Structure 1
Amino acid sequence: MSSPERILLGDTVVKARYHLTRESLVRYAGASGDFNPIHYRDDVAATVGLPGVLAQGMLTLGLATQCVVEWLGDPARITGYRARFTKPVIVHAEDGAVVDVVAKAARVDDEAGSARIDLTVTCDGHTVLGKSQVWISLR
């Protein structure tokens, strides 16, 4: 893995794996105020045609960017981010869900002191965030 002070184009800068449980969803709901029952009730999720209880999209995005924050050591070095929600993260009652993140340097501008990190975010082998990118300051 690369150091935040010196990264090269194509470097894998960090990898992370996060295990989500139903408790994770309830805790996030309390912190975010997102108490939509599709995030904690199987019967409601089924009623609206979902395959199961879903993790909040912003929780998934937050986890994806968290590994970059930890790698950098300073959240102020994140200058921007974006992602498309492409597939929901289904959190099973007993097993939960595992979200994997691989962060690679997609653009490095040493002169400007910035880089773009592209994130591959998957769950059960499916991409759950598309065009997921984080812009960082190298200084």
Structure 2
Amino acid sequence: MTAKVKYADVEVGTEIPVRSFPIDRADLVKYAGASGDFNPIHWRERFAKSVGLPDVIAHGMFTMAEGGRFVTDWVGDPGAVVDYGVRFSSPVVVPDEGGATLEISGKVDEKLDDNKVVVALTARSGEQKVLAQAKAVVRLA
């Protein structure tokens, strides 16, 4: 598979439209099974609140993975991602009723040699920015 986005078609400042990713507790349970991270802050409301959290929270790596999915969906090729990193700024709180929505958008921050671009991501859940310094380096067609 090759990247569908062409290097010649993007400029610094090119925006990648916002996408919404719904998250519910079943997603967290499935992720826990896949990752082996069964920390009860990700599935037991009473426990999460007992340690000072407002409710159950999504796994940080789950949140980061959704950012990666956003980038790979845009470029059309998971193998085109050369580097990806984030800092976690706030947790994604996932109430039992209605779950949460993670909204991610992006912008081309820089064009590099060898058909690579740096994409800066913005990720929010509710009014909270949940990822900081989120950037991916992507090789385009």
**TM over 0.5, shorter chain:** yes
What's the TM-score, normalizing by structure 1?
0.94
Query: Which of 132, 135, 141 in structure 2 is aligned with 1:130?
Result: 132
Identity of aligned residues (%): 35
Counterparts of 2:92 and 2:109, CA distance in 1: 25
Equivalent residue number for residue 12 of structure 1: 15
Equivalent residue number for residue 120 of structure 1: 122
- Aligned residues, how many? 136
Equivalent residue number for residue 41 of structure 2: 38
Structure 2: unaligned runs, 5 residues or longer: none
Counterparts of 2:125 and 2:110, CA distance in 1: 25
- Aligned 8 A contact 1:101 1:119 in 2: yes
Would you say 1:51 and 2:63 are equivalent positions? Answer: no
Counterparts of 1:54 and 1:17, CA distance in 2: 17
Counterparts of 1:102 and 1:88, CA distance in 2: 18
Partner AA of 2:55 in structure 1: G
Would you say 1:93 and 2:96 are equivalent positions? Answer: yes
Counterparts of 1:90 and 1:126, CA distance in 2: 10
For residue 20 of structure 1, report the CA deviation from its aligned partner: 0.3
Deviations 1:84-132 (A, max 9, x none): 00001000001100000001100012x4211000000001021000000
Partner AA of 1:105 in structure 2: V
In structure 2, the CA distance between the partners of 1:14 and 1:68, relative to structure 1 (3 Å rule), is farther
Equivalent residue number for residue 107 of structure 1: 110
Structure 1: unaligned runs, 5 residues or longer: none
For residue 52 of structure 1, report the CA deviation from its aligned partner: 0.6
- Aligned 8 A contact 1:15 1:67 in 2: no
Query: Which of 50, 62, 66 in structure 2 is aligned with 1:63?
Result: 66
Backbone CA RMSD of aligned residues: 1.1
For residue 73 of structure 1, report the CA deviation from its aligned partner: 1.2
What's the TM-score, normalizing by structure 2?
0.92
Structure of higher RCO (CA pairs closer than 8 Å, 6+ residues apart): 2
Runs of 4+ in structure 1 off by over 4 angstroms are none
